[in-house]
Structure formats: structure tokens, C-alpha cells
């Protein structure tokens, strides 16, 4: 079991480091269906696992110049209220309903990634321009606040660092280049995961430390490898591969959840 747990942890790190998203989509089903945790325990554990792995991957991307720290922190701060709300709602939702909703969300994201036809080329200056543009009008500031809140809500509700919408949001709304969006998203994931975890622990939710440690240590190695891959593989290929993997996980999670209803 320890070997399987380590391999799954490495997979989570590889996914996060390569495409800046999808880590918790692997972590939550793996913790439930492989390790045997309850859904709410799994979502809490995923915040620790994905948060630490994302931080490790972010450092590797930062060294390559693909992280905008100020912009990422600003985006994360706007999600504080949403993270608190999501964590509170998580406590009152049936675990199987939670997993079923999670699978629906994964399917939507997977389909959108598979339908993507092109990815904008990298531009190291594009993200700073996009950040300034976001605050030139009330409309831009409102959009940034709404996106940050939505990402924080998903971090609290699903145990996801908002990662499934982060890269598209940073790329489209804030005009980040694809690779910079991936690197910066890891910072936001780590930030939102830490905030959501604080709320969860404040609500006295227990943490299953043994699988968390195995997943995290292996995941850090995978994250470093993934960050190296991200600098070499075409962004469009990354998006397609991500879509296929997440679609398969969504189908398996939905079937298991429906059986338990």
C-alpha cells in the first residue's frame, strides 16, 4: 500500500508541476478509493498534500522565471471569503453528493481542455500588462474579485486549491502567458490550500497524517520533475493530456459515488 500511495503522490506532483492544475482531482479520489478515507477526511488531507506539493513545484518554476509572486498573492487574497464559505458548506453536504458534484466539475473542465484548439504563445511581459489592465476600471476589478472568490470557494468546498480554473483565469482574465499562468497558479493553489486548511482545522476536522506524509514526499519529487517537463512540452499537448486523465477520473468517481447513494 505504501508503494501505491507513493506512486499516486508522485503522479499528483507530476500533474501539478506540469500543467499547474489537477492535483486534487487525483488526490481526492485516490485518498477515498485507494487509501480508504472518508470523503471529508480526503478533502482535508488533499489540502495539505496539494498545498505543500504546489509550493515545492512553485519554487522550481520561480527559478525559471515563470512565477509572478505579487500577482499570485493578490489573486489568492481575494479568495479568502469564498474559502471560508466553501469550508462551512462542506460540513453539511452528504459525502457521496460531494464526490458526485466533484466528478461533474471534473467532466466540465476535461471537456473544455479537450476542445481547446490553440494556446497563446508565451510572453514574459503579458502578465504584468494584464494585471494593470484589471484595475483600470471597476469592471476589471470586479471580475478579478469574483474569480478570486470562486477559486477560494472551490478550495474550501471540494478540497481543491481552485486549480481547475486557475490557469484559464490567469491566462484569459489577467493576460498571463500560458507557462507563467502555470507557475503562478501553483502559488495561488498553495495560498488557498493553506487558508482552507486553517478553516477546516478550526472546525476540528481530523487529519490522517500517515497517507498525507507518503503522498506529500513522493509528490514533491514529482512536482520538480513536472516543472522541468513544463518548460519543454508544448502547452497544447499538456492541455489535451490533462483533459483525458481528468475525464477518466471523473467517470470512475461518478460511478463509485452513484453506487453508494
d(CA 218, CA 27): 12
Distance of alpha carbon 148 from alpha carbon 159, whole angstroms: 16
Sign of the Cα torsion 143, 147, 148, 153 reads positive
Please give the pLDDT value at position 27.
Answer: 85
| Tens-digit pLDDT profile for residues 210-234 | 889 989 999 999 998 988 887 777 7
pLDDT band at 125 (very low <50, low <70, confident <90, very high): very low
Position 219 scores a pLDDT of 92
The answer on pLDDT for 121 being more than 80 is no
E strands present in 133-261: none
96 or 254, which is more confident?
Answer: 254
Mean of all residue pLDDT scores within the chain: 77
pLDDT in tens, 11-67: 888 878 877 776 777 888 888 888 888 887 888 888 899 899 999 989 988 988 888
With a CB cutoff of 8 Å and minimum separation 6, the contacts of 193 are 47, 48, 50, 51, 54, 155, 161
Q: Give the model's confidence band at 127: pLDDT under 50 very low, under 70 low, under 90 confident, else very high.
A: very low
Return the pLDDT at 138.
63
User: Shortest CA distance to 18 belongs to which of 245, 256, 247, 259?
Assistant: 245
pLDDT digits (tens, 9 = 90+) for 183-206: 888 998 888 888 778 877 776 667
pLDDT for position 159: 59
Burial of 209 (0-12, 13-18, 19+ CB in 10 A): exposed
Confidence at residue 173, expressed as pLDDT on a 0 to 100 scale: 67
Average pLDDT over residues 84-97: 78
Lowest average pLDDT, out of 38-47, 113-122, 247-256, goes to: 113-122
The model's pTM is: 0.72
As a whole number, mean pLDDT of residues 132-155 equals 68
Q: Provide the pLDDT for residue 4.
A: 84
Q: Quick one: pLDDT at residue 116?
A: 64
Q: Classify each residue of 113-134 as buried b or exposed e, where b means 16 or more C-beta atoms within 10 Å of its C-beta.
A: beeeeebeeeeeebbbebbeeb
9, 5, 51: which is closest to 225 by C-alpha? 9
Provide the CB-side half-sphere exposure for 80 (13 A, CA). Answer: 4
Cβ proximity of 96 and 168 under 8 Å: no
pLDDT score recorded for residue 122: 46
CA atoms of 170 and 77, how far apart (whole Å): 14
Q: What is the mean pLDDT of residues 72-100?
A: 79
Within 10 angstroms of residue 211's Cβ, the number of other Cβ atoms is 25
Amino acid at each position: 500500500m505504501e508503494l501505491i500511495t507513493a506512486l499516486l503522490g508522485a503522479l499528483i506532483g507530476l500533474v501539478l508541476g506540469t500543467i499547474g492544475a489537477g492535483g486534487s482531482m487525483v488526490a481526492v479520489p485516490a485518498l477515498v478509493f485507494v487509501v480508504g478515507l472518508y470523503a471529508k477526511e480526503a478533502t482535508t488531507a488533499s489540502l495539505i498534500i496539494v498545498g505543500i506539493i504546489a509550493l515545492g513545484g512553485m519554487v522550481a518554476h520561480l527559478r525559471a522565471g515563470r512565477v509572478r509572486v505579487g500577482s499570485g498573492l493578490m489573486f489568492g487574497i481575494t479568495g479568502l471569503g469564498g474559502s471560508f464559505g466553501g469550508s462551512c458548506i462542506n460540513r453539511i453536504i452528504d459525502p457521496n453528493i460531494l464526490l458526485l458534484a466533484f466528478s461533474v466539475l471534473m467532466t466540465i473542465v476535461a471537456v473544455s481542455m479537450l476542445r481547446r484548439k490553440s494556446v497563446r504563445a508565451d510572453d514574459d511581459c503579458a502578465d504584468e500588462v494584464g494585471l494593470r489592465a484589471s484595475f483600470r476600471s471597476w469592471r476589471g476589478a470586479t471580475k478579478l474579485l469574483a474569480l478570486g472568490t470562486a477559486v477560494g470557494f472551490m478550495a474550501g468546498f471540494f478540497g481543491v486549491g481552485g486549480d481547475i480554473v486557475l490557469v484559464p483565469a490567469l491566462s484569459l482574465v489577467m493576460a498571463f502567458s500560458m507557462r507563467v499562468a502555470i507557475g503562478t497558479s501553483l502559488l495561488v493553489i498553495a495560498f488557498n490550500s493553506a487558508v482552507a486548511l486553517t478553516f477546516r482545522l478550526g472546525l476540528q476536522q481530523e487529519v490522517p497524517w500517515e497517507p498525507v506524509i507518503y503522498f506529500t514526499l513522493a509528490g514533491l519529487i514529482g512536482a520538480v520533475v513536472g516543472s522541468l517537463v513544463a518548460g519543454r512540452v508544448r502547452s497544447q499537448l499538456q492541455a489535451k493530456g490533462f483533459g483525458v486523465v481528468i475525464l477518466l477520473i471523473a467517470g470512475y468517481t461518478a460511478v463509485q459515488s452513484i453506487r453508494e447513494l
